[in-house]
Amino acid sequence: MAARAGIPLQDMEFWQFHPTGVHGAGVLLTEGCRGEGAILRNSNGERFMERYAPAYKDLAPRDYVSRCMDQEIKEGRGCGPNKDYINLDMTHLGVETIMKRLPSVFEIGHNFANVDITKEPIPVVPTIHYQMGGIPTNINGQVVTQNDKNESVVVKGLYAVGECSCVSVHGANRLGTNSLLDLLVFGRAAGDHIVKFATENAAHKALPANAADASLARVARLDNSTDGEYAQNVADDIRNTMQAHASVFRTQAAMDEGVEKVAALRKRVANITLKDKSKIFNTARIEALEVDNLIEVAQATMVSAAARHESRGAHTVNDYGDTAAHPNGRNDIDWQKHTLWDSASNSLSYKPVQMKPLTVESIPLAVRSF
């Protein structure tokens, strides 16, 4: 919605993957599974995380575990007939511990994977969990854009909070200890500021006469369509394209190809039809409108990712490996900056990273290691 309204989206190339999404369903299993002692195993039954992170094993950070799982699958040690998932083994924990500590996971195993986790492992794959990017805001939740001097300017009366927003406190890779900041810190800050703003600005500007035209036109296009594609077919192709070209590991060639594929998919989105045009509880209409949202996010991600020629945080690109000049593939000279994607022109601009905290000393950049 913000992108269609002309607000550039920030840092959309940075997506966090959760290591334990149920294979084929995408439902996330709590990291409490591994906290209680669950073990990730490849097709050989090996506890492979011992090779990648000997000190942390299965309790290494989620982005690192996700990459290790993906590497096991890519190297042919995945499980199942298609060798496309990893087994999460909790059988050694015992029925009593599982039912006491992980009852919801037991239910998920039955409902979404058709397995009894007390007797057999559950198939998992790295799954999209959180977007570090989103609608740019300040610490009060106010949406900001950039002026001609590349300075942040508040969009008065518009706020964003939670996962849709980008305060940028998470940088390029959200850590587990940051989980509560979005709502408890910035949510409260936004709420306080909204009350203050509404108190001081009791009179609102009148809406323009054509304020609803764009939204009504989106619905009318579907209602007036006579032929075209089914929304979920296009949505599936968007998902498959993003999985192939912007997944846990990325390559420059794959991302460049993904940019072209997503651009072609955008044309197909414009040709989606709606066969059921009824007005009551029409979920098909909602699904068709949601594909409009999917393609905005997909194109913002793909274009931003392909343009960032480095590895940084959750943006792991095989082409940009570890060197003395660029530790972990990170290039602070050229790419220590925020990406801004504009929907109307499908183009990028950039803004500087604020490295000076308001009240404490700045933490110097350092190489991430285990």
CA-based torsion, 240, 244, 245, 247: positive or negative: positive
Sheet strands side by side (includes 39-41): 15-22, 122-131, 86-89, 39-41
What DSSP state is assigned to residue 153?
A: E
Distances from the Cα of 363 to the Cα of 27, 138, 174, 306, 360, angstroms = 36, 20, 16, 29, 9
Phi, then psi, of 135 in degrees rounded to 5: -80, 120
Residues in the chain: 370
Q: Is 62 a catalytic residue?
A: yes
The whole-angstrom separation of Cα 86 and Cα 27 is 15
Which listed residue (62, 67, 285, 312) is catalytic?
Answer: 62
- Cα torsion 218, 223, 228, 230 to 10°: value is 90
Pick from 335, 324, 358, 314: nearest CA to 64? 314
Helix runs in 80-185, H state only: 95-101, 103-108
Is the separation of the CB atoms in 137 and 167 below 8 Å? yes
Both tokens of residue 126? Answer: 């790295």
Euclidean distance between CA atoms 230 and 273, whole angstroms: 6
Of 135, 137, 194, nearest in space to 2 by CA: 135
Active-site annotation, residues: 62
